[in-house]
Amino acid sequence: METVRACIEQHADASPDRVFLVAPEIDKSLSFAQLKTAVDDVSQQLDRLGLPQGAKVAFLLNNGYWTLRLFLGVMASNRVIVPLNAVAGTVQLVHVLDHSDSEVVFVAPGYRDKLAEIMARIERPIRVIEITDEAGPTWPDSQSPIASPTPPTADDIALLLYTSGSTGLPKGAMLSHGAVTSGGRNVVEGHQLRADDRALCVLPVYHINGAMVTVVAPLYSGGSVVMPMRFSATDYWRLVAENHCTWSSIVPTIIKYLLDRVEQEPFDFGSDQRLTAFRFARSASAPLAAVTLQQWEQVFKIPMIETLGLTETAGTVASNPLPPAPRKPGSVGIPYGNEIIIVDDKGRECAPQVVGEIIIRGNNLLELYYKNPQATSDSIRDGWFYTGDLGRKDEDGYIFITGRSKELIIRGGENIAPREIDDVLYQHEAILEAAAVGVDDENYGQEVVACVVVRDGFQCSEDELKAFCEAGVGKYKAPKIIYFFDDLPKGPSGKILRLKLPALIADSAA
Q: CB burial class (10 A; 0-12, 13-18, 19+) of residue 336? A: buried
Q: Cα angle at 463 between 457 and 464, to 5 degrees?
A: 50
Phi, psi of 74 (to 5 degrees): -65, -45
3-state secondary structure of 273: helix
State the architecture of 417-509 in CATH terms.
Answer: 2-Layer Sandwich (3.30)
Delimiting residues of CATH 3.30.300.30 domain(s) in the chain: 417-509
Q: If you count them, how many residues does the chain have?
A: 510
Distance of CA 189 to the CA centre of its chain: 20
Asked if residue 102 lies in contact with residue 95, where contact means CB atoms within 8 angstroms, the answer is no
Enter the CATH code of domain 1-153: 3.40.50.12780
Parallel, antiparallel, or unpaired for β 224-226 and 19-23?
Answer: parallel
Delimiting residues of CATH 3.40.50.12780 domain(s) in the chain: 1-153
Asked if residue 152 lies in contact with residue 158, where contact means CB atoms within 8 angstroms, the answer is yes
CA–CA dist 281, 302 (Å, integer):
7
Which residues are 49's β-sheet partners?
Answer: none
pTM of the model: 0.84
Asked if the bond preceding 324 is cis, omega within 30° of 0, the reply is yes
CA–CA dist 188, 9 (Å, integer):
18
Distances in Å between the Cα of 350 and the Cα atoms of 268, 346, 395 are: 47, 10, 12
Distances in Å between the Cα of 61 and the Cα atoms of 108, 129, 319, 484 are: 5, 11, 29, 38
Tens-digit pLDDT string for the chain (510 aa): 899 999 999 999 999 999 999 999 999 999 999 999 999 999 999 999 999 999 999 999 999 999 999 999 999 999 999 999 998 889 889 999 999 999 999 999 999 999 999 999 999 999 999 999 888 999 988 767 777 789 999 999 999 999 865 456 889 999 999 999 999 999 999 999 999 999 999 999 999 999 999 999 999 999 999 999 999 999 999 999 999 999 999 988 899 889 988 888 887 776 778 888 999 999 987 778 788 899 899 999 999 999 999 999 999 999 999 999 999 988 999 999 999 999 998 999 999 999 899 999 999 999 999 999 999 999 999 999 999 888 999 999 999 987 666 677 889 888 787 888 988 998 898 998 899 999 999 888 899 999 999 988 899 999 999 999 999 999 999 999 999 999 998 754 456 888 889 999 998 876
pLDDT 10s digits, 114-153: 999 999 999 999 999 999 988 899 998 876 777 778 999 9
3-state secondary structure of 166: coil
Helices 462-473 and 90-99: crossing angle, nearest 10°? 20
| Dihedral, CA of residue 184, residue 185, residue 186 and residue 190, to nearest 10 | 110
